[in-house]
Copies of this chain bind each other. A is one copy, B any other.
Amino acid sequence: MMDAYRSILNGSPGYTCTGSFTSCNNWKQDIEKSNPDVVLMDIEMTGINGIKATGLIKKEFPGIRILIQTVFEDDTKIFESLCAGANGYILKSTSLAKMLEAITDVQNGGVAFNPNIAAKVAKLFQQFIAPLAIVADYQLTEREKEILHLLTEGMPMPRIAEKIFLSYHTVRDHVKNIYQKLHVASATEAVAKALKEKIV
């Protein structure tokens, strides 16, 4: 398998395989010895897996570009690869021409995704970011926001009163109003809503 890739790459003008390794156990020496522009990384590996290795290599050699190549198409792996700093994620089923194209793209500073992988990335993006973008407005006054913020720090009302030089009673009144505006009935609920809908 490895030798197949090696032959293909070396047989393609413009590409040279500077090394191939079956494990990431000696990744540091391997990288230093073969000195690649682009690493074709397999996720499924004994010992250190490809995603972990990607993180390690990126930390040690930020200039090296890493293209993940795998049979897996699941969200978690894609997610983790992106977090680890991978410069691309292509499936092993990808045609040779596309693979060489991806390597070139990655070497030129781009990031390569299969269209269906890109779809998953976009989906992940929407899943995680879109909820963050909706900032609900409950018309809280400045005081109320201030107190709500201190509540989200876990500060009990007596402490809050001391901190912002208000009477304990006043703080409790503000909290009462906050509950009304947020339609909640307890501090934990208010804090949860504040953090989930990032009102703080």
Chain A interface (Cβ within 8 Å of chain B)?
Answer: 79, 82-83, 85-88, 105-106, 108-116, 118-119, 121-122, 124-126, 128-130, 132-133, 151-154, 156, 184-193, 195-196
Contact = CB atoms under 8 A, between A and B. Distances in A.
Contact of A188 (B105, B108, B188): B188
A60 B119 CA distance: 20
Contacts of A189: 153-154
A128 B132 contact: yes
Copies, count? 2
16 contacts: A79-B129, A79-B133, A82-B125, A83-B133, A85-B126, A86-B122, A87-B119, A109-B116, A111-B113, A111-B116, A113-B118, A125-B129, A152-B192, A187-B188, A188-B188, A192-B195
B154 A192 contact: yes
A111 B105 contact: no
B116 A113 contact: no
A186 B124 contact: no
B108 A115 contact: yes
Nearest to A187: B188
B110 A105 contact: no
A116 B126 contact: no
B126 A83 contact: yes
A132 B128 CA distance: 9
